[in-house]
Chain A
Amino acid sequence: MSGLRKDVLTGVIAIVVMTIALGLVYPLAITGISQVVFPGSANGSKVSDNGHVVGSELIGQEFKGKAFFHSRPSATEYSGNVTFFGNGGPNSAEVRDEIREELAAYLKLNKPYDRSLTREDVPVDAVTQSASGADPHISEANALIQAHRIAAVRKLALEQVEELISDNTDGRFLGVLGEPGVNVLQLNIALEEQAPLK
């Protein structure tokens, strides 16, 4: 048998065997084990409020109005199934204008509740689009600014809101890896439990 014919024969067998082993057996086995051992995280780490699933703790949501903590700006309207980057360039006039608007809106929303708030205090994450469009976190500084508004609207003491923030902050792993972030959905769920609207 010539070398080429032998290679083709071996090759055909190889692609079939490998597709079955690596493309079906491997992922299906991992799926099976995961569904048994880690059903919660394997299915999207869903969180509930009053027994209703209201989202995933890993995926950010849109919050409007004065009574909720707001997530970071999103290019995708916080889509959990159609994702793309905003692709705002570093020297884009459009991005400059968007940030200017976001900044003005953020100050307008929060300044009435915290008179000392200035442009310099606004953390970068509050007015820039995240990468995923569904960033579940905001920075601690961002949350603490919004806390003044939430405390006033929900008639809570500022300290109570700050305590909720710290309860819902995901710290660095072992205090070192990653950056701390406040989980907006979980924080808002906790707010609803402690001081429901109406």
Chain B
Amino acid sequence: MVQGYLQFAIFIVVLVALVKPVGIYLARVFNNERVFLTPVLGPIERGAYRVLRVRPEAEGQDWKAYARSLIVFSLLFWLLLYLILRTQGIQPFNPEGFHSGPWDLSFNTTSSFITNTNWQYYGGETTLTYFAQMAGLAVQNFVSAAVGISVVVALIRGIVARSGKSLGNFWQDVTRILLYILVPISVVGALFLVSQGVIQNLSDSTVIHTLSGGQQILAQGPVASQEVIKELGNNGGGFFNVNSAFPFENPSGLTNFFEMLLMLIIPASLTYAYGRMVGSQRQGWAIFSAMFVLFVVSVVIVYIAEQHGSPAQHAAGLHTHAFDGSTGGNMEGKEQRFGIANSSLWTAITTVTSTGAVNAAFESLTGIGGAVPFIDLGYSEVVFGGVGAGLYSMLLYVILAVFIGGLMVGRTPEYLGKKIQAREIKLVSLGVLFTPLAVLLSAGLASATDLGKRSLYAGLNPSGLSETLYAYLSQANNNGSAFAGYTGFIQPNAPGNVEAYGLSFANLLGGAVMVMARFAPIIFVLAVAGALAGKKVSPAGLGTMRTDNPTFVFLLIGVVILVGALTFFPSILLGPVSNGLSGRMFP
């Protein structure tokens, strides 16, 4: 295990070393300052404003105008993506001759990609045209990420505003985030991935006559260009059904390391950008520390649990200890080149961030190892979280912690000099509680009715409950990872879903949950930003509770655990923890 911890340590050192430079860069982009790419991209940026007919410097938006632009933009893109998914039969770049699936599946997939979730009830390589993957889904990987980041930028502007109500201009923010952050990193990253073996072509599948005289068909496609933004934008929707476990998406230890870094780099660096924009790096580091502690705990728990092996393996008489030349541990549903350590690290990263890409099968995780993704999602994606979404959700928790702290010491709660009053706390509570509520209601509905039962693969046992709960936890938190036995399909040929047909209940409920749990919190967050923007800043006094010291970090972690994880504690006990502690076999 020493080798595994060494890899974790290297990863963390590289990540932390990048947080500051990347954070400074992000802050400069958000503040509309010059960056090193401005000479190249400045003309394109100005051209974009002309084409879009916006004059950003003259058109500051209050929170309602900002929210309206965001909603209109997302709604239009929803319609376009739905149209693309419904017209596959007439599209170019369709060497396999795919047609569109059922409409409710398209509804689910459209909602999934507009909301940065990338939940996959479809198998990409077996149902989607290259055109739909590129011009439909991959576009949303960029755009939904940019929308998420724009919301946190607006919230930060609200927090720091000295006067007035403007939160900036939505169109400008989205343009700059795409142009200066997401696209340049993707171009470089995609080419790097291709150089390491990720495929990038428009050919049709290749039929191979194998060495032992058999036949193998190799899927092809524009994978690398999608892989990079899928990780960078915390989207997670794989070109292939088995996602980043498939060697054409993630061929080596090096690409695995790079893709993990892509997932965390923006969420982690945003905390630094935040500190810079509010004028106190310590505020940023405080939030980073709270996230970091919860993240490291997740990694270590998964790693220990997976290295132990599973009850089924032990019952079969298999020895799961590590020895020279073998990693040991629970290798069911894991790849040899990643082993236990890198599958565990990835699992923690993809669930603390809202990525949801996987390089190992979640359903095959041990009980306790599998409980970690539940808990990570239970925090409502505030531990680094989705790009933008993680920090704006965490800032709601910060305000909540300030409020609770204020109650404890008997002072009017203040955050960065702004009084936190009834209106803010109401909005924050709505924002914090909306997602857990959506999860529990939808998972409850699916568990309690026969309609939901049809999606189960594992059957009526703890694994079956895990599948259901996780499906709605993942969709509501816009994560997209899955205990993948759970499908939106009736399963004539489980678990492959070849020739399967759509299960409308799961598609429709899931799609609706994703849309609501994405946009309702965004509106609450923007409303909080609007409420804070108009407030005067009062100077910090002796009685002001500090929000940049270890005491506050501890308080913040406590609030996250109390509100986030404990909401789901009973259901997690019944699902993965039952598996982990009992060691019983289920048919």
Residues of chain A at the chain B interface (Cβ within 8 Å)? 3-4, 6-15, 17-19, 22-24, 26-27, 29-31, 33-35, 37-38, 41-46, 49, 52-56, 58-59, 61-65, 68, 72, 75-76, 78-97, 99-100, 103, 119-120, 122-125, 127-142, 144, 170, 172-173, 176-179, 181, 185, 188-189, 192
Q: How far is the CA of A37 from the CA of B584 in the complex (A)?
A: 54
* Known A91-B311, A103-B317: A56·B218 in contact at CB below 8 Å: yes
A11 contacts B73, C-beta separation under 8 Å: yes
How does the 8 Å CB contact mask read for B185-209 relative to A, with 1 for contact and 0 for none? 0110011001111111111011011
Q: How far is the CA of A81 from the CA of B95 in the complex (A)?
A: 13
The interface residues of chain B lying within 8 Å CB-to-CB of A170 are 252, 337
A100 contacts B316, C-beta separation under 8 Å: yes
Minimal Cβ-Cβ distance residue in A for B125: A81
* Known A87-B361, A177-B10: A55·B216 in contact at CB below 8 Å: yes
A61 contacts B139, C-beta separation under 8 Å: no
Q: Which of B50-58, B277-285, B549-557 contacts A (4 or more CB under 8 A)?
A: B50-58
A146, chain B: closest CB distance, angstroms: 12
Beyond known contacts A46-B208, A68-B211, A91-B367: 19 more, CB 8 A cutoff: A19-B139, A23-B134, A23-B139, A30-B194, A31-B200, A59-B218, A61-B214, A79-B216, A82-B126, A84-B497, A86-B333, A89-B364, A89-B463, A92-B585, A124-B329, A124-B330, A130-B334, A132-B247, A181-B336
Q: How far is the CA of A177 from the CA of B72 in the complex (A)?
A: 45
The interface residues of chain A lying within 8 Å CB-to-CB of B315 are 96
B212 contacts A62, C-beta separation under 8 Å: yes
Tell yes or no: B378 within 8 A of A by CB.
no
Per a CB cutoff under 8 Å, which of B191, B201, B498 touches A82?
Answer: B498
Minimal Cβ-Cβ distance residue in A for B311: A91
Minimal Cβ-Cβ distance residue in A for B576: A90
B187 contacts A30, C-beta separation under 8 Å: yes
Per a CB cutoff under 8 Å, which of A14, A119, A129 touches B333?
Answer: A129
Tell yes or no: B561 within 8 A of A by CB.
no
B199 contacts A55, C-beta separation under 8 Å: no
Minimal Cβ-Cβ distance residue in A for B76: A11
Dominant SS among interface residues on chain A = mixed
B216 contacts A78, C-beta separation under 8 Å: yes
Tell yes or no: B256 within 8 A of A by CB.
yes
- Which of A8, A17, A30, A131 counts the most B-chain CB atoms under 10 A from its CB? A131
- Which of A38, A80, A120 counts the most B-chain CB atoms under 10 A from its CB? A80
The interface residues of chain A lying within 8 Å CB-to-CB of B68 are 3-4, 7
Q: Which 8 pairs from chain A and chain B are nearest by CB?
A: A178-B253, A23-B135, A141-B325, A179-B339, A123-B326, A131-B245, A140-B325, A90-B310
Tell yes or no: B342 within 8 A of A by CB.
yes
B336 contacts A125, C-beta separation under 8 Å: yes
A147, chain B: closest CB distance, angstroms: 11
The interface residues of chain B lying within 8 Å CB-to-CB of A35 are 200-201
A90 contacts B330, C-beta separation under 8 Å: yes
Minimal Cβ-Cβ distance residue in B for A127: B318
Tell yes or no: B534 within 8 A of A by CB.
no
B220 contacts A43, C-beta separation under 8 Å: yes
B202 contacts A134, C-beta separation under 8 Å: no
A130, chain B: closest CB distance, angstroms: 6
B364 contacts A87, C-beta separation under 8 Å: yes
Q: How far is the CA of A14 from the CA of B364 in the complex (A)?
A: 42
Minimal Cβ-Cβ distance residue in B for A124: B331
* Known A30-B187, A45-B197, A81-B217: A22·B143 in contact at CB below 8 Å: yes
A42, chain B: closest CB distance, angstroms: 5
A125 contacts B171, C-beta separation under 8 Å: no
Residues of chain B at the chain A interface (Cβ within 8 Å)? 6-7, 10, 48, 51-54, 65, 68-69, 72-73, 76-77, 80, 123, 125-126, 134-136, 138-139, 142-143, 171, 174, 178, 183, 186-187, 190-191, 194-203, 205-206, 208-212, 214, 216-220, 222, 224-226, 240-242, 245-248, 251-254, 256-257, 309-313, 315-320, 323-339, 341-343, 358-361, 363-367, 370, 457-458, 461-463, 483-485, 495-498, 579-580, 582-587
Minimal Cβ-Cβ distance residue in A for B132: A23
The interface residues of chain A lying within 8 Å CB-to-CB of B318 are 99, 103, 119, 122, 124, 127
Q: How far is the CA of A135 from the CA of B252 in the complex (A)?
A: 11
The interface residues of chain B lying within 8 Å CB-to-CB of A9 are 53
* Known A10-B171, A59-B218, A90-B579: A120·B313 in contact at CB below 8 Å: no
A89 contacts B256, C-beta separation under 8 Å: no
Minimal Cβ-Cβ distance residue in A for B253: A178
* Known A7-B69, A42-B199: A178·B205 in contact at CB below 8 Å: no
B385, chain A: closest CB distance, angstroms: 23
Q: How far is the CA of A99 from the CA of B583 in the complex (A)?
A: 16
B171 contacts A14, C-beta separation under 8 Å: yes
A59 contacts B310, C-beta separation under 8 Å: no
The interface residues of chain B lying within 8 Å CB-to-CB of A128 are 313, 330-334
Per a CB cutoff under 8 Å, which of A17, A84, A177 touches B496?
Answer: A84
Minimal Cβ-Cβ distance residue in A for B126: A82
B325 contacts A123, C-beta separation under 8 Å: yes
A22, chain B: closest CB distance, angstroms: 5
